[in-house]
Each structure stands twice: as structure tokens, then as C-alpha cells.
Amino acid sequence: MLLIAARATLTVVAGRQMIGSTMRRLLIGPCLLALASSVACGGKSEGEPGPSGAGAGAGGGSGASATAAGPTGECPAERPSQGAACNFSGGQCNYAVDKCSSVGFQCESGVWSQVIQGDGASYDCNSFQAPNLPNDGDSCECFGQLNCTFDDCAGRGELHATCDNTTWHVAESACPVVCGAGSSCGSREVCVIHVGLAPTFTCIPNQCSMVSEPVACACAGSPCAKSEVCSVDSGALACSCPTCV
């Protein structure tokens, strides 16, 4: 009986080993076939992304490098907003507002800060000196709004020039003439000096300017008395009396 039981046990064990071997062959066979076609057994293809974007490792690495990069030295193509975050190591970035003005931004403490807006070229009346004073109709584009008076008495006279940020508008007139101590004549007047031991000074209308002539006794009317002789002295009319004691 014991011999029969032992043989039965061996028969069962052998049967189990045969079944186990057969099952392994059945499981390994598809795996080898899948491996031959570049598919991992029981997994995904090599290039297939994993869950939660795990397959985008290359892109994520590039973004991390850009974030860790140092400050850039190039101004943004578009004008930044006041207070927006910045990573800029240059000086000032300027952006045109119109053809005459611009606005600037500086990167300070990691945020953009707007600087004072520049209008035109910051000209003022002192930017113009004789003999390079403006003429009526000259361009003053982007010079700003100017209202200037120039004394060019050795040349063109007194100039009143205004610029409307586009064109100069200039009016010219004769310079005031000194007529005695502490007084002067207007641009349309002429000084008459009565020469003598105690000279006297008088301003009269300049009739010569009315006919577009320089100051002369011939066009000045009758500035002197009958006993006086008229002459021109430094733009003034001098009346002297040769026979007077």
C-alpha cells in the first residue's frame, strides 16, 4: 500500500511539473513575440508618454533652463507696462509715442519703471543765436512750442519768432534806439538830438520806415528848426546850429 501511494504521489508531481512547464511556454511565447516587435512585455511602447505629461521631459528641461538664465541685454519688442516683471540688464528702453516724442522704461528691482517722457529735442530760445536765427517759414518740426524774441540790432533788427512745433513764424522790426540817458525810441520811431551846450533828445515817428527807407534827413520830414542843420548820427537825426553861440 505504501508503494502504491508513493507511485501515485510521483505521478501527481510529474503532472503538475508538466502543467507548469506548459503554462510557462504559453506565457513566455507571446512575450518573446512582443519583444521582437519592440513592445515591452506587459508595458507601453518606448516613445509613448507616461501619465501626467511624464513623456514631455525634454520640453520641461528647456523651460527650466530659460527660467534660470541670467538677465537679457535686449529691450522687449513691445512697450512694457508700468510695474510689470522684468529681467533686463541694459540701460533704458525707449519706445516712440509719435514722430516727435518717446517714452522710456528702466528695469529696477525686477519691475519696469517708466521714466520722464521726452518731447522733441528740448530746444529753447537760447538754442538759436545770430547769424543762425530762424526765418519766417523755416521748419521747426519737433522743436516744441517756442515764443522767442531776438535782438539782432547789428543785423536783422528785433525778431519775434514763434514755433508751433512745425513751422517758424517770424516778424522783424527795427531795434529800439537809445535816445538820451535812460530812454529809447520805439521800433517805429527815430531819435532827434538837438545838439548844443545842453543837448535835448526827442522821439518822433520814423517817416522813413513808412516808405521802406533807411533813416535820412530827406525822408524824415522837418525834424530840425530852420536855423539848424540836419545830419544822421548812428541811426539818429542830429540837429545842430552852426551859427548859434
Give φ, ψ of 229 to 5 degrees: -110, 135
* 125-145 pLDDT, tens digit each: 999 998 899 999 999 998 888
- pLDDT of 173: 83
What is residue 99's predicted lDDT score, i.e. its pLDDT? 78
pLDDT of residue 121: 56
The structure's pTM equals: 0.42
Give the Cα separation of 239 and 192 in Å (integer).
7
Longest dimension (CA), the chain: 185
On whether the CB atoms of residues 174 and 152 are closer than 8 A, the answer is: no
Q: Which residue has the cell 513623456?
A: 55
H/E element holding 98? none
Grid cell at residue 138: 523755416
- Whether the CB-CB separation of 180 and 201 falls below 8 Å is answered with yes
Nearest one of 81, 108, 79 to 93, comparing CA atoms: 79
- Strand-strand pairing, 189-194 and 236-240: parallel
- For residue 71, the model assigns a pLDDT of 66
Residue 234 DSSP symbol: T
Pairing of strands 168-173, 236-240: unpaired
Q: Which residue shows C-alpha cell 540790432? A: 153
The CA distance from 143 to 169, in Å, is 13
First to last CA, the chain: 185
In this predicted structure, what is the pLDDT of residue 215? 87
The predicted structure's pLDDT at residue 84: 94
Point out the residues of the chain with pLDDT beneath 70.
1-71, 117-121, 245
Which amino acid does the sequence have at 118?
A: G
